[in-house]
Amino acid sequence: MRALLRLLGVLLLGLVVGVSGTVLHRSSHPWGLVLALALVFTSAVGLRAAVGRASLLVYLAVLLLTLGVLSQYGPGGDVLVPGADHWGWYWLGGAVVVVMAVLALPARWFSDQPLRRRIA
């Protein structure tokens, strides 16, 4: 049951960060994009520290799926992440790069084990 709740939390976090970041990245250039990528970074670091590396891959998949859906044209012809706008490409690529960078960080940075003291 606990694993199912964690998975549900990861799915919900990826969805919320994807929607929030998509709206935020277009708010004011370039600071909206910077804040959106900072949101992705902080949520990815927190997720990796709390749940682990495998959950970060699920988070990335949900984030990319959310961004893919929001990049499509709506019924009225509107799009939240236009392909002709370079800010949209920075948002899509930047989110992937940030999550992959968090995946590449050493596992000991996320460990709760106390550091050993060297005796001189």
Token pair 């893919």 is found at: 68
Closest CA to 63 of 31, 103, 30: 103
Bond preceding residue 30 cis, omega within 30 of 0: yes
Query: Which pLDDT does position 74 carry in this prediction?
Result: 82
Angle 74-40-88 (CA atoms, 0-180°, nearest 5)? 40
Mean pLDDT by 10 residues, the chain (120 residues): 91 95 89 95 94 92 93 83 83 95 91 75
What's the Cα-to-Cα distance from 61 to each of 10, 97, 102, 115, 117, rounded to whole Å? 10, 13, 15, 34, 40
